[in-house]
Structure 1
Amino acid sequence: MARFIPKLPESFHGSIGEEKAFAALRLLDNNYVVFHSFNWIGISDRIQGEADFVVIHPVKGILVIELKSGAINYQLGQWTQTNTLTGFTKTISPFVQANKSKFEIIERLNLKLRLGRTPLVCHAVWFPSFPLITTDRLPPEAPKEIILDETALSNVQTKIDAVFDYWKDKTGFSSSMNPSQLNEIIEVLAPTFRAVPGLKSIIDETEEYYIRLTNQQAAVFNYLTEQKTAAIHGLAGTGKTVLAVEKARMLAEAGSSVLYLCYNSFLRDFLRSKFSQPGISFHNVHSLASEILFGEDIKLDELLDELEQYLYDDIQPEDWAYDNIIIDEGQDLNENLVSRLSELTKAGNGCFYVFYDRNQYVMKNEMPKWVEEAECKLVLHRNCRNTVEISKTACSMIGMDGSVIEDTVHGETPTAIYYKNTSELLDAARQFVNTAIDADIKPDEIVFLTIETEKTSALADIGDINGIPISSVRKDGHILFTTVRKFKGLEAKAVMVIDISVRSLINPEKQRLVYIGCSRAKHLLKLAIYEDIRKDEYGDCLRRINSERNVPKNQKGLGRLLNVNISRK
C-alpha cells in the first residue's frame, strides 16, 4: 500500500471522482509516496495553486496529477466541466494547472535540494468519470499517454507507470533516488515542523475532542428509538454511562418514570448531583432496597437477598413503580435481580436497557443469561474518555491491544514506578501530584486508586500529599483516595493506581481491577508496582501474565507488557 501524505484526507471537495481516485491510489505498492491536495504558493510570483495528487516513485520520478470529474468537453480551444448532478458548467484548464504545479515543484526542488540533479518531474490529467475513446481528437497539450481515465481506477499502477514511461522516453530523462534522497524530497515538499505542546495544552485539546466523540456516540440512539430492550457492551471509556443517562433523560422528558440502577454508590451520588431531574430516580442496589423495603428491620448483609425475594414474591407488574429501567454496570448486579427487573418492565411495555463491560466482571466470573437472551445487542467502539496510550495500558490487562478503538486521540504515555517501601511510594505520589498541578489539573481531579482495600493500602494513613488534603470522598480542593471497586463508572483527569504487586498481576481478578483502575484516567496515568519478587523470578511471572509476548525477563519487560514508560520517581 502506498504511503499517503497526509495519512487521511481532509476533504474531497465534494468530488466523488477525487474520492475514487484516492481509493485507487492507495492500491499502489509501498514504493510509492502520494501527496493528496498538495497546496503551494509560487516562490517567484506568489501565485497560489494546488495539485490534486503528487505521486513519487524512487526510480521513476515525480508525477503531478490534476483530476477533473464529471462531463468534460473540449471545443474551440477551451475545456469545460459540467457537474452531472447540478448541470453547472465552468471553464477549466486542467493541463495548464498540472503544468504549473509541475514547474513549481521543479523550482522548489532546484532551489532547496542538494542532490546535484533534480529527478524527473512530469504531469498528467485524470478524468475518472468516463473511459477515453481511442478515436477522440485531443489538443496538442493533451496526448493520450498522459491522460488517465475511468479505467485507471481498476488498474492504477499499470496506468501510472505507463505515464512515467512516456515521459522518460520523451525527455530521455532518467531519475533514481536512494532512500535518503527520497526523504529529502519529501521534506522539501512537506517540511517537518515540530513544536512540542505542553501537557496543559494537550489536555485542553483532548477535552474538546472527547466532547465531540461523546456527541457522536450519542447518535447510537437514533437506531434505538423503537427498541424496547437492549444490552449494550463497551470497553471502559466508551461512554456507556453518558449514553445511559441520555437514554434516561429522553424517556423522562417523554413523560415516563425511569429507574436508573447501578452498583456503585460513588457513581450513584455523582449522577444524582449532576443529572437530577423529574422522572429519573438514581439508585444503587442498596438504596433501591432501602426504598422498597422501607421500615423493614433487615441487616445490611441480608438486604440484597430480601430485595430479590420481595420482587419475586410480593411485587406484581401492576404494582411496580417505574415505567422504564436503565441499568449501568450491569455486569456487577445479581443475575436473578436483573432478570426480575426485566420481567417487571416488559410486562408494563417499558424500556429495559442494560449497559455493561464483560471485561469488568469483578464480582462474578460468568456471563449472565440476560446478555445471551437480549433481543438487541450493541457494541460501542469509540473511546470517549482515554487517550490511545492509556487505553493500551488498560487493555493490556485483559489480553487486548486497544485496536477496537475508533476516533482516537493521543496523549502522554502512562508511567510506572517500582517501589519497595512506603517511603518510595510517597516520593512517587508527590511527583505525580506535582506533574498534575503543573498541568493545571485541580486537586479534586487527582485520584489515587488502590486495587486492595483502603485499610490495607500503603497510603492508608496518609493525610495529605504536598500539603493538599486527602479525602475518601470527592471534595473541592482535596485529592481523592479510594478503591478501584468504589470508583467504577467514574473518571478523573489524573489517576495513580497503587498497591499493585508484580505477583498480583498473575491473578485474573487483580488484572481486571488494574484494567478498571487504569481506564478511569483521562489524561495522566501512573502505576505504582510493589516489587515482591526476586529478579530471577521475573521470567516465570511475565510468562504467566502473558505467555504470547516475548519481552525481557525484568522490570522493563513488565513495562512493555503494560505499555508504560518506567520512571524512577
Structure 2
Amino acid sequence: MRSIPAEPDFTEAQSAEKVVWGQLRRDLPDDAVVAHSVQVRDGRAECEIDLLVFWPGVGLAAIEVKGGLVSVDDGQWYQSGGIEGRRRIQSPVVQSQSSMHAFRTWMEKQLGSRVSSRFAYMACFPYTRVPRQWEMAGCARTLILDADDLVSPAVRIREAIEREGGGTNPLATSFMDRMLPKLGQLESIVDLSYSAREAEDSQDQLTERQAILLAATRSLPRVRYVGGAGSGKTWLAVEKAKRLAKEGKRVGLFCYNKGLSQHLRNQVQGWRQAAPIFTGEFHEYALRLGVRDGEGQEYFDEQLPQELLGLAGSLLQTEKLDAVVVDEAQDFAPL
C-alpha cells in the first residue's frame, strides 16, 4: 500500500486514525493508495475524509474514524468522554457520506469527467465492537468497520465498495493515476472551495444528453429519471429544481437521508436567482408543516402520510408547492 503523504504526521488527537492507517497499510494490496486527512469544502460546508482509499480493480472508500467507545441511542450518536462519560457527536456515517459527495463533486470538476468508479462511505470504530446483525436506517452493517473487522480490514472494505458503493465501474488504474496528482498538488490541506458564482455557472454547462433529457421532459407534469449510481441523477434533480424555480414556481427539492440532504443544500445555497422554497429531507419538511415527530416503519409508512393529507387541505394556496423534485426516490416507500 502507498500512502499520501508517505509518512502522515498524526497528532495526539488522531491516534485512532494512526491505528487504522497502520492496519490498512498491512492488509491492503501493494497497488492500493490511502490518503490521510483530505479536507474538502462543498460550497460553504467544510468536510474532512480521515482516510481515503483508492483500490485499483475495486473502487474508492471514504472512511470516517471515531476513537473511544461509540454508541447510538434513539438515533443520536455518542462517543466516550466528557463529564457524563459520553458526549453527543454528529453521525459519523452522515459525515462520511457528505465528505464523499464533496470530494466526488470537486474531482469531477478537476478532471472534466464523471467519477463513475464505485465509491463507498464508511465509518470505523477501532475500539468498539458492533454486532454483526446490527443495522439502522440509512446505514447497513457493511458500512461499519469495528475493532474485530480491523483484523482483516481489506475484506470488509472490498465488501462495502462492491455491495454498497455508488458507481458503475471498478476503479481503473489509469483513472486513479489521473486523480492522485490532484491530491499531490494540494499538499497538506486540500482547499476544494470555489465561489458560489462559479458553482452555479458550472451547472449551466449541460452535457448534450442531459440537455436533451431536460428539454424533452419540460412540458410533462410527472417525470422519473432512472439510471445507475454515478450516472448524474442528482445533477439532473438539482438542475430541474433550478429551472422550475426560475420559472417562478414554488419548488421543493427533497431526499430521504441526511448526507444527501446536506449535499443538496450546499449546491443551492449560493444561487443568485430563484431557489427552491425548501431543500432537504422530506421528514424535516413535514415537521415544519406541523406533522408530529415519530419513528419506526409504521410512522413513516402510515401515520406521517395521513397527517400530511389532513394538513394539505388547510394550507393556503401561497403555502403549497407548485413542483416537487425528489432525488434518490427509491429510498421512499412506493405510493
TM-score (norm 1): 0.31
After TM superposition, the structure 1 = structure 2 runs for residues 143-542 of structure 1, keeping only pairs within 5 Å, are 143-168=140-165, 171=166, 173-179=168-174, 181-191=175-185
Provide Cα deviations, 1:33-60, integer angstroms capped at 9, x if missing partner.
Answer: 1011111222xx2322211100001221
| Alignment CA distance shift 1:176-1:153 (3 Å) | closer
| Alignment CA distance shift 1:176-1:52 (3 Å) | closer
Distance in 1 (CA, whole Å) between partners of 2:11 and 2:156 is 22
Partner of 1:134: 132
Distance in 2 (CA, whole Å) between partners of 1:97 and 1:117 is 20
Partner of 2:41: 41
- Is the Cα contact below 8 Å between 2:133 and 2:141 reproduced in 1? no
- Displacement of 1:94: 0.4
Query: What SS does the aligned partner of 1:101 have?
Result: helix
Query: What SS does the aligned partner of 1:14 have?
Result: helix
Partner of 1:74: 72
- Displacement of 1:21: 0.5
| Alignment CA distance shift 1:85-1:128 (3 Å) | farther
Partner of 1:110: 108
| Alignment CA distance shift 1:142-1:110 (3 Å) | same
List gaps (5 residues or longer) in structure 1: 194-569
- Displacement of 1:81: 0.8
Distance in 2 (CA, whole Å) between partners of 1:102 and 1:64 is 6
- Displacement of 1:115: 4.8
- Displacement of 1:72: 1.4
- Is the Cα contact below 8 Å between 2:76 and 2:88 reproduced in 1? no
Provide Cα deviations, 1:363-385, integer angstroms capped at 9, x if missing partner.
Answer: xxxxxxxxxxxxxxxxxxxxxxx
Distance in 1 (CA, whole Å) between partners of 2:123 and 2:36 is 14
Partner of 2:56: 58
- Displacement of 1:23: 0.8
Matched, 1:17 2:16: yes
| Alignment CA distance shift 1:184-1:87 (3 Å) | same
Partner of 2:203: none
Distance in 1 (CA, whole Å) between partners of 2:167 and 2:177 is 25
Aligned length: 186
- Displacement of 1:86: 9.3
| Alignment CA distance shift 1:109-1:81 (3 Å) | same
Query: What SS does the aligned partner of 2:138 have?
Result: coil
- Is the Cα contact below 8 Å between 1:126 and 1:147 reproduced in 2? yes
| Alignment CA distance shift 1:158-1:123 (3 Å) | same
Partner of 1:6: 5
Larger radius of gyration: 1
- Is the Cα contact below 8 Å between 2:37 and 2:51 reproduced in 1? yes
Partner of 1:346: none
TM-score (norm 2): 0.51
Distance in 2 (CA, whole Å) between partners of 1:129 and 1:110 is 35
After TM superposition, the structure 1 = structure 2 runs for residues 533-552 of structure 1, keeping only pairs within 5 Å, are none
Distance in 1 (CA, whole Å) between partners of 2:83 and 2:32 is 34
Letter in 2 for 1:102: M
| Alignment CA distance shift 1:176-1:51 (3 Å) | closer
Matched, 1:89 2:87: yes
- Is the Cα contact below 8 Å between 1:62 and 1:122 reproduced in 2? yes
Query: What SS does the aligned partner of 2:148 have?
Result: helix
Matched, 1:31 2:31: yes
- Displacement of 1:91: 2.2
- Is the Cα contact below 8 Å between 2:3 and 2:33 reproduced in 1? yes
| Alignment CA distance shift 1:75-1:110 (3 Å) | same
Distance in 1 (CA, whole Å) between partners of 2:9 and 2:155 is 27
Partner of 2:215: none
Show structure 1 runs of 4+ deviating over 6 A.
none
Distance in 1 (CA, whole Å) between partners of 2:154 and 2:46 is 30
- Is the Cα contact below 8 Å between 2:123 and 2:144 reproduced in 1? yes
Cα RMSD (Å) of the superposition? 2.4
Distance in 2 (CA, whole Å) between partners of 1:135 and 1:150 is 15
- Is the Cα contact below 8 Å between 1:51 and 1:101 reproduced in 2? yes
- Ranked by relative contact order (alpha carbons within 8 Å, sequence separation 6 or more), the top structure is 2
- Displacement of 1:191: 2.0
Query: What SS does the aligned partner of 1:53 have?
Result: strand
Query: What SS does the aligned partner of 1:150 have?
Result: coil
Letter in 2 for 1:81: Q
List gaps (5 residues or longer) in structure 2: 188-335
Distance in 1 (CA, whole Å) between partners of 2:52 and 2:146 is 17
Distance in 2 (CA, whole Å) between partners of 1:130 and 1:21 is 13
Distance in 2 (CA, whole Å) between partners of 1:178 and 1:61 is 10
- Displacement of 1:135: 4.1
- Displacement of 1:100: 0.9
Residue identity over aligned pairs, in percent, reads: 23
- Displacement of 1:90: 3.1
Provide Cα deviations, 1:38-89, integer angstroms capped at 9, x if missing partner.
Answer: 11222xx232221110000122111100011211121122111113999352
Query: What SS does the aligned partner of 2:97 have?
Result: helix
Letter in 1 for 2:40: W
Letter in 1 for 2:158: D
